Structure 1
Amino acid sequence: MRNLNDLLNVYGLSLNRIYKIAKTLQIDVKIDAIIIECDNIYEFHQITGKPYHIGAIYINGVIISQPFNILRQKGILESTIEHELLHHLIEKNYSMPKWLEEGLILYLTGSKLEDLKGEHKDALKRFMQEVSYEDIPSYVARYHNDNRSNFDPGFQFPSGTPSEP
């Protein structure tokens, strides 16, 4: 089990983009997820049942990850942990369908359809088909746990996100 501070210090990870996305979604960054690093990718597959191209999963406050050194070698350690921490923050603040949550995260982190597979690709594709860029704030707000009717008019997308799908 890893402490988030260890991850940040040992692997030089940054939470800057998470803070920007949380500000966009108007949610507080209170990360209390448990991070479990598997010893090898076989163990990860045995525990999660996920294919090897999935680097980590988030379930009920717990992130289960492939070994960090493998994710770092693939060049995806920071983006994988960031992705799963966003699941954590969104699930603490919103009750939205899985496809919307996944699509929103992929969209806000700048993922491209051609780089994705399976459920991730399907979620981003559906998100881009069903939610126009201009409607993202109001569309997402209806799923907020405090039943917001809309976002603050100062809504800004974090830098690095597409200007439109």
Structure 2
Amino acid sequence: MRRYVYPGEWCPAGVSETVDRVCEFLKVNPQFDVVVFECETLQEFHQLTSKPYFIGAVYKDGIVITQPFEVLRKKGVLQEIITHEVLHHVLQSNFKLPVWLEEGFILYETGASLDQLYGNHKYYLEKFLREVPCEKIYAIMDSYRICDPVECY
């Protein structure tokens, strides 16, 4: 298993830009570290996370565990997966959101397409699109904030 810290030079292009944009929109501090562990094999990932192979990574308590980067790169989802998991850190560090709102917001902000999603991710994005008008995203997210925007920044 390899250990990385976000942000860093190892990080795929585009991740920091998306994370910084979301932090600016939500008025939260963009300066933070997230530990990322890259599993050596799919078997190791499954043993550590108990997740099926179609799940590329998991986030919990400031730590991301991913499938091997090469596997994610070949699937064309490395940037998407790292961005998604780092955004979980941003949200969980600053907000106490219902799962559907956290996942839905992340999927919305990363440009996920409903026709390419299934299971819970599809349900969460559908619910987000149905229940959160674009012009009210900030206000709704802000209502779940666990610290003052000035303190967070």
Structure 2 CA distance, aligned partners of 1:12 and 1:111? Answer: 18
Instruction: Say whether the 8 Å CA contact 2:42–2:53 is kept in structure 1.
Output: yes
Q: Percent identity?
A: 38
* Structure 2 CA distance for partners of 1:123 and 1:73, relative to 1, 3 Å: same
Question: In structure 2, which of residues 1, 4, 9 is the aligned counterpart of residue 2 of structure 1?
Answer: 4
* Partner secondary structure for residue 37 of structure 2: strand
Query: Does residue 94 of structure 1 match 2:125?
Result: no
Aligned to 2:60: 59
Count of matched residue pairs = 146
Conserved 8 A contact 2:5-2:34? no
- Distance of aligned partners of 1:12 and 1:125 in 2 relative to their CA distance in 1, 3 Å threshold: closer
Code of the aligned partner of 1:137:
Y
Preserved contact between residue 99 and residue 123 of structure 1 (Cα < 8 Å) = yes
> Structure 2 unaligned runs (5+)?
none
Determine if contact 1:30/1:89 at 8 Å carries over to the other structure. no
Partner residue, 1:48? 49
SS in 2 for 1:2: strand
Taking the aligned partners of 2:147 and 2:117, their CA distance within structure 1 comes to 32
Q: Are residues 143 and 71 of structure 1, via their aligned partners in 2, closer, same or farther at CA, if it must alter by over 3 Å?
A: same
**Deviations 1:72-122 (Å, cap 9, x if unpaired)?**
111111111011001001111111111110100001111111111211111
The structural deviation recorded for 1:147 is 5.8
SS in 2 for 1:7: coil
Distance 1:34 1:15 in 2: 15
User: How does the TM-score come out when normalised to structure 1?
Assistant: 0.82
Normalising by structure 2, report the TM-score: 0.88
Instruction: Report how far residue 6 of structure 1 moved.
Output: 4.5
Structure 1: runs of 5+ lacking an equivalent: 149-165
- Which aligned runs of 4 or more in structure 1 are off by greater than 3 angstroms? 11-14
| Aligned counterpart, 1:124 | 125
